[in-house]
Structure 1
Amino acid sequence: MTPWEMLAVFATSIGAGALNTVVGSGTLITFPVLLAIGLPPVTATVTNALGLIPGSISGAIGYRRELRGQSRRLLRLSVAALLGGLCGAVLLLTLPATAFERIVPVLVALALVLVVLQPRITKLLSHRRRETSGRGLFAGLLLAGVYGGYFAAAQGIIYMALMGMLLDETPQRLNAAKNVLVAVVNAAAALLFLFVADYDWTAVALIATGSALGGRLGAEAGRRFSPATLRFLIVAVGGIALVHLLVR
């Protein structure tokens, strides 16, 4: 990479780290830059997944206050995220690129609809939430983790939609949990990528450093948003992600 390309990767990774912590879809910032500097699509995806792990961890640390009291739940849900992330990584390395991506826009669109309708759906499910949240959420996050391990963009939006419907928590506490689950999915995929996939170590180091910084900045900013503002940002960024997935 040239110095200017290195600067571009580092600068966009700061924005990606912040965006992932607050909403999700930070991959849509870094992934096109990696393609622009000449990395093949699969190599860019693997490099991006490896580099964004510190950003997810940094964002989770920034939200540590909102994580209090969620350890048992997150331990259980992290199992689903771990298994899903590994399965998604295997799909990325074995299936044709077009095979799985055909349903990605559908998943993102469905997640956005769920976020928009979340207050109404939550009210309708309030009397059944305790009965359905365990198995339903585990299964949903397992499938979402498969998507996250394959192509990380907008996975946080899907997690927020699922948890928002089935858990009686504030959006900020759900956002904190989302950052942990994203970190687990990315780390699970990275464990496989390290041994069997091609990646660019220079780009990984730049993205890791930038995303870690951006994760902390995103946590500080995101905590100040009201539930309505946070939901609006999720829908806005998710809409951009959906358009990007449809036209790319």
Structure 2
Amino acid sequence: MAAVLLAGLAAGTINTVVGSGTLITFPTLLAFGVPPVTANVSNTIGLVPGVASGVWGYRRELEGQRGRAIRLGSASMIGGAIGAALLLSLPESAFSAIVPALIVVGLVLVVLQPRISTWVDARHEGARAENGPWWVWPVVLLSGVYGGYFGAAQGVIIMGVLGIGIAETLQRLNGLKNVLAGLVNGVAGLIFALVADVDWTVVLLLAVGSVVGGQVGATVGRRLPAGVLRVVIVVVGLVALAVFLLR
């Protein structure tokens, strides 16, 4: 199961920098014969420590964002709980059909974020205040629903939304993204641990690998200029889209 450990390390790194580590771990678990739903819930629980590691690695960028994290974090927690409930009660086709569209929306938001933000600032003074306009909270909630259900490219979508709605640097928003994604995974993971079929060996391996990966990602991610970080987000998002369309 060394491959699962390495997949966890890679996912922890990617999740901290961008957020799409599930694209590595989920297919790996399926390749080892883990049933899809068990793989999904075990993956969610196993990556929680890695996300927490990434949050700690980005603690410097999180300074001054406590109120923002609490407000938007409430949306992520509610969304994560709803998403987990959907996974346990609905067929995969009911939700995964819109996943490619969500990824495309996230990518468009990331690419056009500088222009859209400039347009918003010029025409709606104060719209991009500390917590952003009113629509940021419900959209973060919806991204939490998606993250609680599956989660691949969740970080791409969150970064697109935050980049347009909140006047901050991408690095600081990336730190906030890690907090929000961690809350989604944490709430969903708690629900899965209580009621779902979990492979705890997989959880342990992913947890160990992702904790190390979270620190690697924090070191690498904060050194990337905004333009490079945006390119990384788009590339990972395109890979996520390809995986969903070709599976």
TM-score above 0.5, yes or no: yes
Distance in 1, matches of 2:206 and 2:153, equals 18
Contact 2:76 2:184 in 1 (8 A): yes
Contact 1:46 1:197 in 2 (8 A): yes
Contact 2:9 2:211 in 1 (8 A): yes
Give the structure 1 partner of residue 234 of structure 2.
235
Alpha-carbon distance, 1:126 to partner: 1.2
TM-score, normalised relative to structure 2 = 0.97
Distance in 2, matches of 1:130 and 1:75, equals 21
Give the structure 2 partner of residue 100 of structure 1.
95
Higher relative helix content:
1
Alpha-carbon distance, 1:170 to partner: 0.3
The answer to whether structure 1 residue 170 and structure 2 residue 169 are counterparts is yes
* 1:55-134 map, 5 Å: 55-127=50-122, 128=124, 130-131=126-127, 133-134=132-133
Paired AA for residue 60 in structure 1: V
* 1:136-175 map, 5 Å: 136-175=135-174
Alpha-carbon distance, 1:194 to partner: 1.0
Give the structure 1 partner of residue 32 of structure 2.
37
Paired AA for residue 166 in structure 1: G
Q: CA RMSD in A?
A: 0.9
Give the structure 2 partner of residue 226 of structure 1.
225
Give the structure 2 partner of residue 199 of structure 1.
198
Q: Which runs of 5+ in 2 are unaligned?
A: none
Distance in 1, matches of 2:39 and 2:93, equals 16
Contact 1:129 1:166 in 2 (8 A): no
Contact 1:153 1:241 in 2 (8 A): yes
Paired AA for residue 86 in structure 1: A
SS at match of 2:45: helix
Q: Which runs of 5+ in 1 are unaligned?
A: 1-5
Alpha-carbon distance, 1:191 to partner: 1.4
Distance in 2, matches of 1:61 and 1:237, equals 23
Distance in 2, matches of 1:155 and 1:129, equals 29
SS at match of 2:197: coil
Distance in 2, matches of 1:191 and 1:13, equals 19
Paired AA for residue 225 in structure 1: L
Give the structure 2 partner of residue 28 of structure 1.
23
Contact 1:149 1:189 in 2 (8 A): yes
Q: How many residues align?
A: 243
Alpha-carbon distance, 1:135 to partner: 1.9
Distance in 2, matches of 1:101 and 1:226, equals 33
Give the structure 1 partner of residue 43 of structure 2.
48
SS at match of 1:66: coil
Alpha-carbon distance, 1:24 to partner: 1.1
Overall identity of the aligned pairs, in %: 54
